[in-house]
Amino acid sequence: MIDQPAGPEGVCLLGVDAGGSSTDFVLTDMGGHVIASASSGGANVTSLGVAGACRVLDEGMRIALARSGSSVASIRAAVLGIAGVDREPQRSGMKRWLAAALPASQTLVATDVELVIAAGTPEGVGLAVVAGTGSVVLARDTAGRTVKVGGRGPLDGDPGSGHAIGLAAMGTGRFHAASDSPRDIAALVPDVAAAADAGDNGAIGILQAAGLDLAAQAADAISRIGWVGTAPCALGGGVVANVARVRAAFLTGARDFDLYLDPVEVVRRPVAGAIQIAMRLTANAETQPGAQSTAVSSVTSTTQQPTRPEAADR
């Protein structure tokens, strides 16, 4: 995705990154030049349900299209990365909504972590670690095999997530969320990070533990996929991308697990991955004319809780 404006050319690509706290919409021309963008609240189908998530998505897309001067009919390909969409009945519900909402010739609904691996690793192969309101780790090898660890949603436990950090902070009795919603609890992360920066050992420990939890999930994913050698790694989500102590603890924990990660790319705007995937879809459509897809990209998932290594400086 090229982050400079370009005028509408009659056809465009749509990329959407829908997380637990916010949703990012981008329309580009066929070369990936940005035409228009919009943002809205979170559209996690686990938290909002299919109907609630669809309302957020529909509103954001209408705003982006209005800003671009384009119509739904001009969308050649659309890729939506949506947290929590890899489970039923959310999967089927989003497929039905997408088929009705977008008459694009090529469309795909993926999990939000798949956008991160597309944007932050060569050819979408390697490891992606996402920690925002929730957390999830994805590993994909060169044969296309994919394993996901975590991503169960804050209510079932997302180790290393903003929600987990917020809960740990609230447990100290010194931090208080505006409500008991996962989003408001995760909103405590900046306060915890500020306390850590001020030398609060309890806050430092909470952030370090979050990074090690993410490393444990990464090691589990890499082990299950049978990856050998150095793996490219993409980091996404507000917690791991923006909180230096969590990121540093993750990298330290990865070394403790004998994970060799290089390069490590921080993905600040995962929606770029959606545009990259959309460009590939259109390229494939040109070689297979007449093909139409309203698919949901799926992954093999595991809910087993990996064990963190004990670290002296934890």
CATH code of the domain containing 244 = 3.30.420.40
Same domain, yes or no: 248 and 149: yes
Report the amino acid identity of residue 258.
Answer: D
Q: Is residue 103 part of a domain?
A: yes
Quickly state the pLDDT bin for 35 (edges 50, 70, 90): very high
Total structural domains within the chain: 2
With a CB cutoff of 8 Å and minimum separation 6, the contacts of 285 are 77, 105, 106, 291
Q: Give a yes or no: residue 99 inside a domain.
A: yes
Domain boundary among 242, 267, 292: 267
If pLDDT is split at 50, 70 and 90, which confidence band does 10 have?
low
- At residue 20, does pLDDT exceed 90? no
Is 76 part of any domain? Answer: yes
What is the structure's pLDDT at 90? 86
Whether 311 is in a domain gets the answer no
Residue 220 falls in which region: left (phi positive, over 0), alpha (psi -120 to 50) or beta: alpha
Please check the confidence at residue 137 and state whether its pLDDT lies above 60: yes
Whether 306 maps to a domain, the answer reads: no
Residue 194 CA to residue 243 CA, distance in Å, equals 10
Considering the domain architecture, whether residues 189 and 211 belong to the same structural domain is answered as yes
| Same domain as 263, residue 167 | yes
Q: How confident is the model at residue 7 (pLDDT cuts 50, 70, 90)?
A: very low
Q: What is the pLDDT of residues 75-134, one digit of tens each?
A: 999 999 987 787 788 888 888 888 888 865 688 988 889 999 999 998 899 999 999 988
pLDDT score recorded for residue 301: 40
Over range 243-268, report the average pLDDT: 97
pLDDT for 165 beyond 90 = yes
Q: Average pLDDT, stretch 267-277?
A: 95
Arithmetic mean of pLDDT, 63-84: 91
* Residue 83 and residue 156 share a domain: no
Kind plus residue range of the DSSP H or E element containing 236: strand 231-236
In sequence order, what DSSP letters do the residues of 136-169 get, joined into one string?
Answer: EEEEE-TT--EEEEE-S-GGG--TTSHHHHHHHH
**Does the residue 234 lie in any domain?**
yes
Whether residue 80 sits in one domain with residue 101: yes
Average pLDDT of span 170-195: 96
What the block records as the tokens of 180 is 């008991």
- Whether residue 146 sits in one domain with residue 250: yes
* pLDDT single digits (tens) 213-238: 999 999 999 999 999 999 999 999 99
Q: What's the pLDDT at 91?
A: 81
Whether residues 241 and 108 fall in one domain: no
pTM of the model: 0.83
How confident is the model at residue 314, as a pLDDT?
27
Alpha-carbon distance of 279 to 268, in angstroms, equals 20
Domain-embedded: residue 308? no
What mean pLDDT do residues 185-194 have?
A: 97
Same domain, 88 and 174: no
pLDDT of residue 303: 38
Angstrom distance (rounded) from CA 200 to CA 288 = 58
Share the mean pLDDT of the chain.
87
Which of these, 303, 308, 96, 76, lies nearest to 209 by C-alpha position?
308
| 277 and 235 both lie in a single domain | no
Q: Are residues 93 and 198 in the same domain?
A: no
Q: What is the mean pLDDT of residues 180-187?
A: 92
Tell me, yes or no, whether 171 and 81 share the same domain.
no
Q: Check whether residue 216 and residue 93 sit in a common domain.
A: no
* Percentage of residues of the chain with pLDDT beyond 90: 65
309 domain-assigned: no
Range of the domain at 244: 122-267
Question: The tokens of 84 are what?
Answer: 């929590």
- C-beta of residue 36 within 8 angstroms of C-beta of residue 68: yes
